Amino acid sequence: MSRIGKMPINLPSGVQVTIEPTEVIVKGPKGQLSEKIPYGIKVTQEDNQIMVQRLSDSKLHRSLHGLVRTLVSNMVVGVSDGFSKTLEIVGVGYRAMKKGNDLELAMGFSHPVTIKQLGGIEFEVPAPNRIIVKGANKQVVGEIAANIRSVRPPEPYKGKGIKYEGEHIRRKVGKTAK
């Protein structure tokens, strides 16, 4: 049995779960999320806990057991607490600012780069060199943060660019003079 898949998911107060044969819908204070459930995986609710079970011991069902449990758990955490990723900008003249709901980045190009705010995602810019991406869906928050980082990834010589908070950049030695 999957160690992750057999663990129950505790429901916090204010979170409602609707279980259909092929879909799980989770509603909470931060929004609503849904996920398709593959054939062979059964999701049940008992009191304030959700259990994920597999119907057979085939290799496919064993591999999906822990995955489905983690996806449902991430939905429950997302609609109750939400997820966030923090990005740091390193470099002289590099900065971020909020324009309405969108994010505008000045990253040394001839033009500012605008990142549109998608549904359910919020941008916070507490300082010109820090960006916080918040939302209920963990996958979308990570994808938007990766898109922002890809505008100017950190380079290995001076470390300039956009990096995740706490990310370690492997530095290279530059040219040596004779």
User: pTM for the complete prediction?
Assistant: 0.89
Question: Which range of residues forms the domain containing residue 59?
Answer: 4-81
Check whether residue 111 and residue 101 sit in a common domain.
yes
Write down the mean pLDDT value for the chain.
92
Check whether residue 105 and residue 119 sit in a common domain.
yes
Check whether residue 38 and residue 54 sit in a common domain.
yes
- Percent of residues, the chain, with pLDDT higher than 70: 99
Residue 109 lies in a domain: yes
Check whether residue 64 and residue 125 sit in a common domain.
no
Q: Which of 49, 81, 113 finishes a domain?
A: 81
Check whether residue 17 and residue 68 sit in a common domain.
yes
CA angle 45, 51, 55 (to 5 degrees): 110
Q: How many structural domains are present in the chain?
A: 2
Residue 41, token pair as written in the block: 């995986």
Phi, psi values for residue 155, rounded to 5° = -95, 155
The letter for the amino acid at 2 is: S
CA angle 11, 14, 17 (to 5 degrees): 55
Is residue 55 within 8 A of residue 42, CB to CB? The reply is yes
Digit-coded pLDDT (tens) for 94-151: 999 999 999 999 999 999 999 999 878 999 999 999 999 999 999 999 999 999 999 9
Check whether residue 64 and residue 113 sit in a common domain.
no
Check whether residue 69 and residue 132 sit in a common domain.
no
User: Does 1 score more than 60 pLDDT?
Assistant: no
With the C-alpha atoms ordered 14, 50, 61, 3, is the resulting torsion angle positive or negative? positive
Check whether residue 34 and residue 53 sit in a common domain.
yes
pLDDT of residue 5: 87
> Which CATH number characterizes residue 20's domain?
3.90.930.12
Which helix (DSSP H) or strand (DSSP E) does residue 106 occupy? Answer: strand 102-106
Check whether residue 54 and residue 65 sit in a common domain.
yes
User: Does 61 score more than 60 pLDDT?
Assistant: yes
Q: What separation in angstroms does the CA of 30 have from each of 72, 84, 96, 163, 172?
A: 15, 13, 26, 27, 43
Q: Which of 52, 81, 110 finishes a domain?
A: 81
Check whether residue 15 and residue 35 sit in a common domain.
yes
pLDDT of residue 175: 85
Of the pLDDT bands very low, low, confident and very high (cuts 50, 70, 90), residue 4 is confident
Q: Where are the alpha helices (DSSP H) in 81-176?
A: 138-149
Query: In a 3-state reduction of DSSP, which class is residue 59?
Result: helix
Is residue 42 within 8 A of residue 19, CB to CB? The reply is no
**Which residue do the tokens 């160690």 mark?**
3
Q: Where are the alpha helices (DSSP H) in 44-97?
A: 59-80
pLDDT of residue 176: 83
Check whether residue 69 and residue 107 sit in a common domain.
no
Q: Which of 28, 54, 81 finishes a domain?
A: 81
